[in-house]
């Protein structure tokens, strides 16, 4: 596997410098950029390929967790925070690891980075079909075609997958499902909804329509959605 392309997003200058030094000392990492605010990072990251993000949580304008919600593409995320208060919430977003500032222990940094590399290697080895995906329903593994999926909906500890044929309910998080679906074909529009782009029939200021379903669009997801669709 090639070097992991990574960025750091943190409004703390000392944290930026320390993480930059750790990255430079790690053979399998290459630093793409440093950002001192999440809004600039969100705007510049659109369409760019990054494997790993070292991300602070408490930042002005947009928090690190809010940034995860609007990211286009699914890089590995390592949270770097001065507080432990966000640990549970961060792992609800399925982050790779959680480092507490100051990250002076290089061994701990290396362990987190290695974990991200291993997860990406596993993805490369397993791979996925760009035409279908297996879902687990009860004791069965069902193969469903991606072009039949209309939208996905969070439902407690489950996700409802609505297709042109039927609706499936699987034990999963929406974030986990989002990571497994091709970003070129699916877009998250709300904390509770992912839609297939070519199934969208119309869009207004606060909602869109897929089949006969009106689905809300969150303010934080509207801009990424509009960037993904083609308009004349």
């207004």: which residue's tokens?
204
Over residues 4-24, the pLDDT tens digits come to 999 999 999 999 999 999 999
Highest mean pLDDT among 119-128, 179-188, 197-206: 197-206
Q: Are 221 and 69 in contact (CB under 8 A)?
A: yes
pTM of the predicted model over 0.85? no
In this structure, the answer to whether residues 116 and 136 fall within a common structural domain is no
Q: Average pLDDT in the 159-183 region?
A: 90
> At which of 126, 145, 178 does a domain end?
126
Cα–Cα distance between 80 and 98 in angstroms, integer?
A: 6
Q: Work out the pLDDT band at 184, boundaries 50, 70, 90.
A: confident
Q: Domain of 152: which CATH number?
A: 2.40.50.1020
In this structure, the answer to whether residues 107 and 139 fall within a common structural domain is no
In this structure, the answer to whether residues 38 and 59 fall within a common structural domain is yes
In this structure, the answer to whether residues 223 and 145 fall within a common structural domain is yes
Give me the count of residues in the chain: 232
> At which of 96, 126, 156 does a domain end?
126
| Cα separations in angstroms, 147 against 12, 38, 46, 196, 215 | 44, 34, 24, 8, 19
Check whether 129 has a pLDDT greater than 60: no
Q: Work out the pLDDT band at 188, boundaries 50, 70, 90.
A: very high
Over residues 134-159, the pLDDT tens digits come to 888 777 778 888 989 999 999 999 99
Cα–Cα distance between 40 and 61 in angstroms, integer?
A: 10
> At which of 126, 152, 172 does a domain end?
126
Q: Are 112 and 97 in contact (CB under 8 A)?
A: yes
Over residues 36-87, the pLDDT tens digits come to 999 999 888 765 678 899 999 999 999 999 998 887 666 899 999 999 888 8
In this structure, the answer to whether residues 39 and 73 fall within a common structural domain is yes
Range of the domain at 16: 4-126
Check whether 130 has a pLDDT greater than 60: no
In this structure, the answer to whether residues 59 and 142 fall within a common structural domain is no
Cα–Cα distance between 184 and 131 in angstroms, integer?
A: 12
């Amino acid at each position: 596997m090639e070097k992991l392309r990574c960025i750091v997003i943190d409004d703390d200058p000392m944290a930026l410098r320390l993480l930059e030094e750790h990255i430079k000392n790690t053979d399998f990492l290459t630093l793409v950029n440093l950002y001192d605010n999440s809004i600039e990072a969100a705007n510049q990251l659109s369409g760019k390929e990054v494997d790993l993000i070292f991300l602070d949580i408490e930042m002005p304008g947009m928090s690190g967790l809010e940034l995860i919600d609007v990211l286009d593409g699914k890089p590995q995320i390592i949270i770097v925070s001065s507080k432990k208060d966000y640990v549970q919430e961060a792992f609800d977003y399925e982050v790779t690891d959680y480092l507490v500032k100051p990250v002076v222990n290089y061994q701990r940094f290396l362990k987190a980075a290695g974990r991200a590399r291993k997860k990406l290697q596993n993805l490369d080895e397993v791979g996925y079909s760009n035409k279908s995906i297996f879902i687990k329903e009860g004791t069965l593994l069902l193969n469903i075609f991606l072009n039949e999926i209309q939208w996905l909906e969070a439902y407690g500890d489950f996700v409802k997958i609505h297709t042109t044929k039927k609706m499936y309910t699987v034990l999963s998080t929406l974030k986990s499902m989002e990571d497994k679906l091709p970003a070129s074909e699916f877009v998250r529009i709300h904390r509770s909804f992912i839609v297939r782009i070519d199934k969208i029939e119309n869009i207004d200021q606060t909602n869109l329509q897929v089949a006969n379903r009106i689905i809300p669009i969150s303010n934080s997801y509207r801009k990424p959605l509009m960037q993904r669709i083609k308009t004349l």
